[in-house]
Amino acid sequence: MQTKTVNQKAWFLVLPVLVLVAFSAVIPLMTVVNYSIQDTFGGEFFSLEDKLMWFREMLESQRMWDALGRQLMFSGIILAIEVPLGVFVALNMPKSGFWASFCLVMMSLPLLIPWNVVGTIWQIFGRVDIGLLGNTLDALGIDYNYTQDTFDAWVTIIVMDVWHWTSLVALLAYAGLKSIPDAYYQAAEIDQASRWKVFRYIELPKMMGVLMIAILLRFMDSFMIYTEPFVVTGGGPGNATTLLSIDLVKMALGQFDLGPAAAFSIMYFLVILAISWVFYTVMTNLDKRGM
Amino acid sequence: MSDATTTTPRIPEDLTAGGTRRRVKVRGSVVVMTLYLLFLMLPIYWLLNMSLKTNTEILNSFTLWPSDLTLANYRTILTDPSWYMGYVNSIIYVTMNTVISLAVALPAAYAFSRYSFLGDKHLFFWLLTNRMAPPAVFALPFFQLYSSVGLFDTHIAVALAHTLFNVPLAVWILEGFMRGVPKEIDETAYIDGYSFGKFFVKIFMPLIASGIGVAAFFCFMFSWVELLLSRTLTSVDAKPIAAIMTRTQGASGIDWGVLAAAGILTILPGALVIYFVRNYIAKGFALGRV
């Protein structure tokens, strides 16, 4: 890493970003904070006790904890599938030439589809009457209905997420693999290292940096996922697939419970903030080690 | 796929052990990649398939390819302004967002990559938290903010709202690319009497052209795929195509053919631009840090 000159005038260069982000992030965030300590319908709170009422109400509400539980389960499952699968795919990708480009373009395609179209694609694909997946499963005699059955709904949104985002993990792992010099493999061949050992002691350590980014990006984005599962299941059946963001939008825009929704938002954001901090620390440490 | 399993045993035995292993491995990879790409393409194919069918065929018979190929669904979209204006709206705000994001991110990324200044690390982290902020948290406050300043249902409102996550992303990607440019180039230019502005535009920007391309691509992409904020901030004049799609649900049920055609048309722009940045996609996702 290059050494940097101390120069306070550099602040002028970041000023535009500061102004813009202040407008599009700080002002809205202050509105949220404001709601969280006020009664939306005109009543005024005076004591600190009252001001924290919404927070207490949310912390005590089973609804939020349930949504958080479902959210953690969702993020956990998709990470457990996408990371190993992505690495596996990356290991099998062609190294160069036409087919490498072909695979790269094909794999990136799901990443560029608007999120509600991703939802629509799977909504159609899974329908028993007109979808290929639903119809095939039905023909095989498997009782599959993602709008009625909790398990089927979960399988559908997880397979959808795997379809949508595994390529991201694969692309990052692939970029990590490509940065390994040939000499490493030649040395391994001389040592007659097994395929597993090559992976364990050469490829995996070299991929660690980008893999870390992949895992944390996937964790973040799955933690705030909204559109795709909402289009497919609408949070149902019942509340079975109501993840945090879906619940929040339901509360804020659907029921207009602004106070509790704002308190919910702030706690949601604090969780993300804590995780972002871990993300940032891990990444800067990896940067320092020169990866 | 089947030929991979049948040809493997036929490899002559006089090949070296290493040769055999490599051959088997390559065949294995082909199978894996074929299966994976098939998994990726099947749902998209199904959408394409449906977009080329009539609604009668979709609902009454289950066919793997259109038996009665029709472009009527696409014609519906491309001749009706209330449909195709959705694409125009999306493209307008996506472009605005990309331009704004890059314009403010370029100098900031340069500052972060070259200088250390009071609070730089905190500022960088704060930018990152915006990338991680759930849009659901911001939907309602944005709605109120942009309504109160009279920007509701304009393209610029959506473009500004999307800077929330695109500016941090652009700063990050650009900073990663700029770090790779040796500092000596800056110093030489200053000694040669270039002003900062002239150096930045004439010398520095061409050097990180690929980085700018990747950052622009990612701004384009994330603005294009986002729906929650763009839907909340628009009603008629700036409504994005992704939000218009939901209206296919009419009294007579859903118009599946048109819905599928609209979906296919939203995939096209991404498919077109991705070819140009294919070798940098991973670097962009790694925020310029591969």
Q: What ipTM describes this predicted complex? A: 0.83
Interface of B with A in 263-282 (CB under 8 A): 263, 266-267, 269-271, 273-275, 278-279, 281-282
Mean pLDDT of A8-16: 85
- Evaluate if residue A242 carries a pLDDT over 50: yes
A13 within domain boundaries: no
Residue with tokens 């350590």: A205
Residue B107 distance to chain A (closest CA, Å): 5
B200 shares its domain with B266: yes
Does A34 fall in a domain?
Answer: no
What pLDDT shows up at residue B1? 39
Tokens in use for A4? 């940097």
Residue pairs spanning A and B at CB distance below 8 A: 284
Which residues in chain A are closer than 8 Å to B50, comparing Cβ atoms?
124, 130
pLDDT at B99: 95
Are B114 and A277 an interchain contact pair (Cβ–Cβ within 8 Å)? no
Query: Residue B253 in 3-state DSSP?
Result: strand
Q: Give one DSSP letter per residue of B86-146, joined into a string.
A: HHHHHHHHHHHHHHHHHHHHHHHHHHHHHEE-TTHHHHHHHHHHHHTS-HHHHHHHHHHHH
Contact B167, A20 (CB under 8 A): yes
Instruction: Identify the band that residue B16 occupies on the pLDDT scale cut at 50, 70 and 90.
Output: very low
Which residues of chain A make contact with B115, given a CB cutoff of 8 A?
A: 4-7, 10
Judgement on whether residues B99 and B31 belong to the same structural domain of the protein: no
DSSP codes, A42-79:
S----SHHHHTHHHHHHHH-HHHHHHHHHHHHHHHHHH
Q: State the Rg of chain A over Cα.
A: 23
Q: Confidence band (pLDDT; 50, 70, 90) for A172?
A: confident
| B26 and B150 share one domain | no
Question: Does residue A210 fall inside a structural domain?
Answer: yes
Q: Are B40 and B178 part of one and the same domain?
A: no
With a CB cutoff of 8 Å and minimum separation 6, the contacts of A282 are A212, A216
Question: Looking at the domain assignment, is residue B194 inside a domain?
Answer: yes
pLDDT in tens, B46-63: 999 888 888 877 777 777
Asked if B47 has any chain A CB less than 8 Å from its own CB, the reply is yes
Measured in whole angstroms, how far is the alpha carbon of residue A138 from the centre of its chain? 31
What's the domain count of chain B? 2
- Output the pLDDT for position A82: 94
User: Nearest chain A Cα to B110, which residue?
Assistant: A13
Burial class (CB in 10 A: 0-12, 13-18, 19+), A102: middle
CB contact under 8 A, B62 and A135: yes
* H/E segment holding residue A281: helix A258-288
Looking at per-residue pLDDT, the higher value among A14 and A50 belongs to: A14
Give the number of domains in chain A. Answer: 1
In CATH, what number is assigned to the domain containing residue B150? 1.10.3720.10
Position with higher pLDDT, B185 vs B64: B185
B18 touches chain A (CB under 8 A): yes
User: Is B137's CB within 8 Å of A265's CB?
Assistant: yes
Residue B12 lies in a domain: yes
The DSSP 8-state label assigned to residue A23 in this structure reads: I
Judge whether B61 lies within some domain: no
Query: Is B183 in Cβ contact with A92 (below 8 Å)?
Result: no
Q: What b-and-e string marks burial along A65-101, b requiring 16 or more CB atoms within 10 Å of the CB?
A: eebbebbeebbebbbebbbeebbebbbbbbeeeeebe
Question: What is the structure's pLDDT at A79?
Answer: 92
Residues 6 or more apart in contact with residue A182 via CB below 8 angstroms: none
Do B274 and A112 make contact, defined as CB atoms within 8 angstroms?
yes
**Chain A residue numbers touching B286 (CB-CB < 8 A):** 172, 175, 210, 213
- Read off the DSSP letter of residue A186: H
Per the CB < 8 Å rule, is A92 touching B33? yes
Phi, psi of B41 (to 5 degrees): -85, -25
- Smallest Cα distance from A47 to chain B, Å: 25
Distance CA A62, CA A57 (A): 10
Co-location of B47 and B86 in the same domain: no
Cis status of the peptide bond prior to A237, with omega within 30 of 0: yes
Segments forming the whole domain that contains residue A249 = 50-288
Q: Which residues of B touch A122 (CB under 8 A)?
A: 43
CB contact at 8 A, B146 and B161? yes
